[in-house]
Structure 1
Amino acid sequence: MTIFLRDIWPLSNVEDFKLHFARSNGVDQPLEVWARDRQEWQGWQEYRPARDDFNRPYIFSLVQFYHETDIWLFGGIFRIITRHEDRYEVELAETGKDFIGRLKLRSPYRGRTTRVYLENQYSAFEVQEILREPYSGRAFPGYDGINISFDELEALVRNDRPDWKAALGSVSGIYLITDTKTGRRYVGSAYGEQGIWSRWSSYVETGHGGNIELRRLATDPTLDYCRANFRFALLEHCPIRASDGEIIAREGFWKEILLTRSEYGLNRN
């Protein structure tokens, strides 16, 4: 049985809302923006293009749940306080607060316009599910299923996501960072008491984790290049008690296999 949004949340004043279908801007996925920083997410509502697209009192915000086709996560209702020529001032409304980050809707909307009239979409929204807790990142997929963007990793680390932290904090291993813009790759390792979680957290803080070649790429303190282009994969994991020498040897093996010491790679040794 299909449950529609109008069945659980009847809005009598839909003409007071513009609907914001927030999608990737080429650097950030709005889902990861929402998960890592609510203030940054509010900034997505405050951006004003040349036209006054948010020309109604309220914004009904949806975040593209890009892991699932046609699914959108409710990101809140924002009231427009002031319209400036170059930006909006908004505040989060009380209405719908319990649904923020929990309500997932289905809509096949694929129009180019991301700011549309709510009444044209509202009656067709299907309720996909209501999460028990606000979204804080995908569930840990298992060691063999890790292939994530910097953007997603950052959200997981900022939220101290417990399943990822427990799993990656308990193993050493070899990992791969790929610069999708150039196709060049970096093989790294985590050993001793550090664990993969701690090592990857250092990349979230700096963008480069102290690596010389990655430092040349991660020059922007906003980390925009990293968010747009870096991907992380776990090549091999082993118990945290594994010897340093064993891990370093396996790291060298992967560097040879993936040619990361050549012009194809970002390893200098």
Structure 2
Amino acid sequence: MTLTLDAIFRSAEIDPAQIQVIRHSFVREHEDSGLRGIHADSSDEEILAYTARQSSNTRVFPAVPPTVWVIFIKEGGDRARFWAVVRNVGEVSTEGPLRQFNLEVSNELSDLKNRLVIGWRSPRAWRLNGPTASQYPVIEIADSQPIPFPGFDNLVLDYPNLQAIMREHRYASWRTALSSVIGIYLITDTLSGRHYVGKADGSDSIRQRWSTYAANGHGANVELRGLDPENFRFSLLRVFDPSTPTRTIDKSESHFKIALDSRKHGLNRN
């Protein structure tokens, strides 16, 4: 059974009926308008600006385009490589043959950026409605490029980052590093500013402990149940070798609870 773009959309909870799919081709300058195009060295900002300019001819581009645009870049033959999902915030202006849109890059499918390649069945078409594009075949999902581990002292993660680190191949070195230490960590509810100081000790590495948060948001901590994990920020306060005695870990945890006043004004109950 051939994997199609529909499965990719559904996995990201994107309704094909509510989107349009655009395939850009490399061209330095358009002969009809003289406007600058994009090329292999174009930056993301240049590609976004290029996407935001569309024809004022409603036979070429819809008068009321959908909110979600899925952007691909043409490769050799019938291949098209995924660039980004962008959200159309609204039309800004119309000047002669062009309309300018306010577009924002979305995080949707961001883990597939430059990795997802589909077969573009309609060589002359550059824009498709979602239901048509959803039937196009997925040719390739390339291995992601590894992301270097930034070091324990520089680790500050929001909740989607934490989930990606525990799941995606490109973060393999991060999981290895987090598996090698135990210690004291901090969860901040950015909505209220309150802190929760936690620990990973004994046979529980930081990776194992944080995996539970990635899975359910609260890690079985009563204090965190009922809060929206999308507002959580994770960081490390101190790391230890796994052979460190439990009493040392407990002493460090108590110190940070006092220093951050997380019992009285935070999310720690004890």
Q: Tell me, yes or no, whether TM beats 0.5.
A: yes
Q: Which runs of 5+ in 1 are unaligned?
A: 1-36, 67-71, 102-132, 218-224
* 1:181-200 → structure 2 map (5 Å cutoff): 181-200=191-210
Q: CA deviation at 1:226?
A: 1.4
Q: Give the distance between the partners of 1:233 and 1:212, measured in 2 at CA.
A: 20
Q: Give the distance between the partners of 1:146 and 1:191, measured in 2 at CA.
A: 19
Larger-Rg structure:
2
Candidates 176, 179, 191, aligned match of 1:169 = 179
Q: Residue 216 of structure 1 aligns to a residue in which SS?
A: coil
Contact 1:148–1:232 (CA under 8 A) maintained in structure 2: yes
Contact 2:9–2:134 (CA under 8 A) maintained in structure 1: no
* 1:53-72 → structure 2 map (5 Å cutoff): 53=66, 59-60=71-72, 61-63=82-84
Query: Residues 81, 145 of structure 1: CA spacing in aligned structure 2 closer, same or farther, 3 A cutoff?
Result: same
Q: Give the distance between the partners of 2:257 and 2:71, measured in 1 at CA.
A: 49
Q: Which runs of 5+ in 2 are unaligned?
A: 1-6, 20-63, 73-81, 85-104, 121-127
> Which letter maps to 1:74?
N
Candidates 53, 66, 74, aligned match of 2:114 = 74
Contact 1:176–1:234 (CA under 8 A) maintained in structure 2: yes
Candidates 238, 257, 260, aligned match of 2:259 = 257
1:226 is matched with which residue? Answer: 229
2:167 is matched with which residue? Answer: 158
Indicate the structure with greater strand content.
2
Q: Give the distance between the partners of 1:171 and 1:158, measured in 2 at CA.
A: 19
2:218 is matched with which residue? Answer: 208
* 1:18-57 → structure 2 map (5 Å cutoff): 42-44=12-14, 46=16, 48=18, 52-53=65-66
Contact 1:45–1:90 (CA under 8 A) maintained in structure 2: no
Q: Give the distance between the partners of 1:184 and 1:167, measured in 2 at CA.
A: 27
Q: Deviations over 1:80-113 (max 9, x none)?
A: 6864xxxx8724544xx55x56xxxxxxxxxxxx
Q: Residue 175 of structure 2 aligns to a residue in which SS?
A: helix
> Which letter maps to 2:261?
L
Q: CA deviation at 1:243?
A: 1.1
Percent of pairs identical after alignment? Answer: 33
Count of residue correspondences: 179
CA RMSD, aligned part only?
3.5
Contact 1:143–1:234 (CA under 8 A) maintained in structure 2: yes
Contact 1:150–1:232 (CA under 8 A) maintained in structure 2: yes
Task: Pick 1 or 2: higher relative contact order, CA cutoff 8 A, min separation 6.
Answer: 1
Q: CA deviation at 1:193?
A: 1.1
| 2:60 corresponds to 1:90 | no
Q: Give the distance between the partners of 1:153 and 1:55, measured in 2 at CA.
A: 26
Q: Give the distance between the partners of 1:267 and 1:44, measured in 2 at CA.
A: 38
Q: CA deviation at 1:205?
A: 1.0
Q: CA deviation at 1:216?
A: 2.4
Q: Deviations over 1:103-147 (max 9, x none)?
A: xxxxxxxxxxxxxxxxxxxxxxxxxxxxxx4146x3211111110
Contact 2:152–2:236 (CA under 8 A) maintained in structure 1: yes
Q: Residue 114 of structure 2 aligns to a residue in which SS?
A: strand
Q: CA deviation at 1:201?
A: 0.2
Contact 1:174–1:251 (CA under 8 A) maintained in structure 2: yes
Q: CA deviation at 1:170?
A: 1.2
Query: Residues 247, 52 of structure 1: CA spacing in aligned structure 2 closer, same or farther, 3 A cutoff?
Result: same
Q: Deviations over 1:197-230 (max 9, x none)?
A: 000001111100011110121xxxxxxx313x11
Candidates 239, 244, 248, aligned match of 1:242 = 244
Q: Residue 188 of structure 1 aligns to a residue in which SS?
A: strand
Indicate the structure with greater helix content.
1
* 1:114-129 → structure 2 map (5 Å cutoff): none
